[in-house]
Amino acid sequence: MPTSPTRSGRPLRAAPLVAAAASLVLCTPSLVSAHAIAGNRVFPSTMAVDDPGVGDEANFEYGHQRVPGDDGDQSINTFSFEYDKLITPRLAVSVDGSYAMQSNPRARGFDNFGVGLKYLLYVNDAHEFMTSIGVNAELGGTGSRAIADNFSTISPTVFVGKGMGDLPDSLVYLRPVAITAEAGPALTTGAGQPNAFNYGFTVQYSLPYLQQHVHEAGLPQPFANLIPLVEIPLSRSQGQTTGTVNPGFIWINRYGQFGVEAQIPINRASGSHVGILVQAHIFFDDVAPTTIGKPLFQ
């Protein structure tokens, strides 16, 4: 259930373990399976707009942005992590946190830690559709005073995903397309602190889907397992909309994925330069389905 600064008001998550996790992902076989499946569709774990699935997984991200500050532009680097655990095959809990380093003024430390709950509400295999509901709470005062807020933020959210595998034969090469989206308020507990409405969507073109379910194009690795995509995470608060347009790709196999995206600000309030996101993600429900990847209750 990855989060982003646009959705939750906190920096992106990653960890110094990104390199090790990426190495694990890239050295595994190229079978594409995963937990977020509707019919033939595999929805990858996207970096800025959460996917509609639930699963046993670990996510690590590095993010870099330049954003407006009180004394001019400031650079923000974040190393973030999230761990999701299945309670049942449809219900998962999560914990997440991030370490941020910023300039102007210089500060570093952990942001507030978060906890979440997500339930897979409905799946339609024939139409490659799934939807989930969830809530995430950023716990005020659990992070560094130099970085974190002293109030909490609670974010109930709806997630949807739709693959285009049910398109007619005349549009067969559009069947690898998928769209995912999320929307929900971010409600603060601090007196006088503004609330926000966070939303976003992704457009994906799955080359594994093209190869397996449309036409065997004979693509070599790593291209056969690539999913080019664009994510657009947005937030509106106090009459101002902020967000980014994130073109990039995800390389996915049965056991995990690796992704890279640019972050292009939509306006000055959203940032002053193009940023970057780098992700490494492990699917414990495929790596160790009978042990740590197994739901606590079947």
Q: Is residue 283 in some structural domain?
A: yes
* pLDDT confidence of residue 1: 59
pLDDT tens per residue across span 19-52:
443 444 334 333 444 479 999 999 999 999 999 9
Write out the E strands in the chain. 37-38, 41-42, 57-69, 72-88, 91-102, 107-110, 114-124, 129-138, 153-163, 177-188, 196-205, 226-237, 240-252, 256-265, 275-283
Pairwise CA distance, residues 75 & 268, whole Å: 14
Q: Is residue 49 in some structural domain?
A: yes
Q: Which H helix or E strand runs over 76?
A: strand 72-88
* pLDDT confidence of residue 105: 82
Q: Is residue 297 in some structural domain?
A: no
Could you tell me the residue range of the domain that residue 11 belongs to? 5-287
Q: Is residue 225 in some structural domain?
A: yes
For CA atoms 6, 250, 37, 170, give the dihedral sign: positive
Q: Is residue 171 in some structural domain?
A: yes
Number of domain units in the chain = 1
Q: Is residue 294 in some structural domain?
A: no
pLDDT tens per residue across span 233-287:
999 999 999 999 999 999 999 999 999 999 999 999 999 899 999 999 999 999 9
Pairwise CA distance, residues 190 & 174, whole Å: 46
* pLDDT confidence of residue 54: 96
With H, G, I as helix, E, B as strand and everything else as coil, classify residue 284: helix
Domain with residue 39: its CATH number is 2.40.160.40
Q: Is residue 145 in some structural domain?
A: yes
* pLDDT confidence of residue 5: 43
Contacting residues for 289 by C-beta, under 8 A, at least 6 apart: none
Task: Yes or no: say if 237 and 17 are a contact pair by the CB < 8 Å rule.
Answer: no
Q: Around 248, how many Cα atoms within 13 Å sit in the side-chain half-sphere?
A: 25
Burial 260-269 (b: 16+ CB within 10 A, else e): bbebbbeeee
Q: Around 32, how many Cα atoms within 13 Å sit in the side-chain half-sphere?
A: 26
Q: What string of pLDDT tens digits covers the 298 residues of the chain?
A: 554 443 334 433 333 333 443 444 334 333 444 479 999 999 999 999 999 999 999 999 999 998 877 667 889 999 999 999 999 999 999 999 999 999 888 899 999 999 999 999 999 999 999 999 999 999 999 999 999 999 999 999 999 999 999 999 999 999 999 999 999 999 999 999 999 999 999 999 999 999 999 999 899 999 999 999 999 999 999 999 999 999 999 999 999 999 999 999 999 999 989 999 999 999 999 999 999 999 999 8
Q: Is residue 295 in some structural domain?
A: no
Closest CA to 46 of 96, 109, 3: 3
Pairwise CA distance, residues 214 & 259, whole Å: 24
